[in-house]
Each structure stands twice: as structure tokens, then as C-alpha cells.
């Protein structure tokens, strides 16, 4: 399954999630959502005056830190470069490559939009091969194995993981890249879930929150 490549920026300067305490309670900033905000003001509302556009940008920078906005711009440039690197083996004409990059990076919506075989073939003009039933069974078996390893059918709920305890260490496998010759690389997230009781005024029931003290997040190589 193919999908758009619109990255989200995560960092300590991202906007905080209202009402959620903790240093990791940040809102991911989607690269294309920032661009859509500017395009909406310009195209849908017809705001073209330089002073008005400046006010819009200033208002945006009040909600999202300017350094995060700079990271958004950098991420957009990087993802376009990556898209071209991924397509260099297709030996496409420049105008066709430009159209595909534009579609994947900005025109196809958020990254939860699925581009299936028919659209990839007819709309993007990509060489798509439909698997035979034997090939499909192999693909399905590989998917089922990865799904089991990544626990894709298990809802992520820190409260259930804590199960009434005050502190529980955790480690999750969030991504896998496997190779016949070079072993396996696994993206692992680890740390400790902690139950914290926040102080409240007399007569008010205690407020309980869950903290995610993350100590590990990155790729590890396995033989």
C-alpha cells in the first residue's frame, strides 16, 4: 500500500496538548497542515495583501514556535529530496517525476490516505504489478508475522499496561526493516509508565495522570 509522504514535526518547542501535563505532551505539527493554513487564507478567503498575510504569519507564530515552523519548512524540502531518491530507479521523465512528488507531498491529503494499485497505476502512471494468488499468500503470511511481532491488533493503552500499579517499565517494537543479507533493524520505544496523583483542593477528588518517562527511542540492529 502506498501513501502520501507528509511528515509531522515533533520536538520540545511544539505546542502543548491543552490539559495534559508532562514534557512529552506535545501536538505534532504536520508539514502540509501548515501549508494548508496559508493556502486557505490566500485561495479560499482571497487574502493577498502583504500586510494581512504578515498578520496571519504572526498569528501562526504565536501558536507554533518560529523554530518549529522553520523545522517544518526544512522537513518539507527533505521529504521531496527523499521522494526523488526513491523514484530514481523508475527512470521517469522529469515532468512525470515532478507530478508524482507534488501529489505524494501535498496534493493527496494527509498520510492516512491510501493509494491503492488502481490509482497508483492510472493516476500516477507507476508500473504496478498485481500479485498472483501464490504471491499474495506469501505477502499475507509476511504481513501476519509482522503484525504479530508489532502487536498491531493490541490497543495501546498505558492505563491497561499499568494495571493499577504505580510504575511499569515498557518496550515496544514500532517498526521493522528486514533483509536477507543484513539481518533486521527494529525501531524500539522504551521507558517507564508512571501513575502520578496531582494535588487538589480539600474536598476535591485526587486527579490521576499517567507520565511517559521515555528513555529509549531509536533503531537497533538485530542479527
- Residues 114, 115, 119, CA angle at the centre, nearest 5°? 145
* pLDDT band at residue 205 under the 50/70/90 scheme: confident
Mean pLDDT of 173-196: 91
pLDDT for the residue numbered 67: 87
Regarding pTM above 0.75, the answer is no
User: Does 139 have pLDDT greater than 90?
Assistant: yes
pLDDT for the residue numbered 126: 79
pLDDT for the residue numbered 169: 94
Question: Contact, 4 vs 105, CB < 8 A?
Answer: yes
Q: How far apart are CA 143 and CA 147, in angstroms?
A: 6
pLDDT in tens, 208-223: 888 888 898 899 998 7
- What is the residue extent of each domain of the chain? 1-130, 154-223
Between 106 and 10, name the one with better pLDDT.
10
pLDDT for the residue numbered 171: 92
Q: How far apart are CA 54 and CA 56, in angstroms?
A: 5
Cell numbers representing residue 153 in the block: 491488533
Question: Contact, 193 vs 161, CB < 8 A?
Answer: yes
- Which residues fall within 8 angstroms of residue 223, CB to CB, at 6 or more apart? 183, 184
* pLDDT band at residue 129 under the 50/70/90 scheme: confident
pLDDT for the residue numbered 110: 65
pLDDT for the residue numbered 168: 93
Q: How far apart are CA 145 and CA 176, in angstroms?
A: 11
- What residues form DSSP beta bridges with 186? 176, 220
β-pair type (8-9, 183-198) = unpaired
- What residues form DSSP beta bridges with 41? none
User: Does 111 have pLDDT greater than 70?
Assistant: no
Amino acid at each position: 500500500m502506498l501513501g502520501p509522504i507528509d511528515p509531522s514535526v515533533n520536538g520540545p518547542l511544539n505546542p502543548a496538548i491543552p490539559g495534559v501535563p508532562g514534557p512529552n505532551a506535545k501536538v505534532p505539527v504536520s508539514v502540509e497542515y501548515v501549508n494548508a493554513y496559508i493556502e486557505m487564507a490566500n485561495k479560499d478567503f482571497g487574502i493577498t495583501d502583504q500586510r494581512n498575510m504578515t498578520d496571519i504569519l504572526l498569528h501562526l507564530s504565536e501558536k507554533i514556535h518560529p523554530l518549529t515552523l522553520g523545522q517544518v519548512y526544512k522537513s518539507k524540502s527533505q521529504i521531496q529530496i527523499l521522494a526523488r531518491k526513491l523514484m530514481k530507479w523508475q527512470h521517469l521523465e522529469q515532468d512525470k517525476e515532478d507530478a508524482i512528488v507534488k501529489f505524494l507531498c501535498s496534493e493527496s491529503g494527509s498520510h492516512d490516505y491510501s493509494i491503492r494499485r488502481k490509482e497508483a497505476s492510472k493516476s500516477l502512471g507507476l508500473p504496478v504489478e498485481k500479485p498472483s494468488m501464490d504471491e499474495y499468500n506469501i505477502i499475507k503470511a509476511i504481513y501476519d508475522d509482522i503484525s504479530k511481532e508489532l502487536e498491531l491488533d493490541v490497543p495501546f493503552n498505558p492505563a491497561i499496561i499499568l494495571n493499577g500499579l504505580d510504575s511499569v517499565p515498557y518496550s515496544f517494537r514500532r517498526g521493522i526493516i528486514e533483509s536477507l543479507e543484513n539481518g533486521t533493524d527494529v525501531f524500539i520505544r522504551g521507558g517507564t509508565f508512571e501513575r502520578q496523583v496531582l494535588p487538589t483542593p480539600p474536598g476535591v477528588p485526587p486527579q490521576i495522570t499517567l507520565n511517559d518517562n521515555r528513555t529509549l527511542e531509536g533503531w537497533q540492529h538485530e542479527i
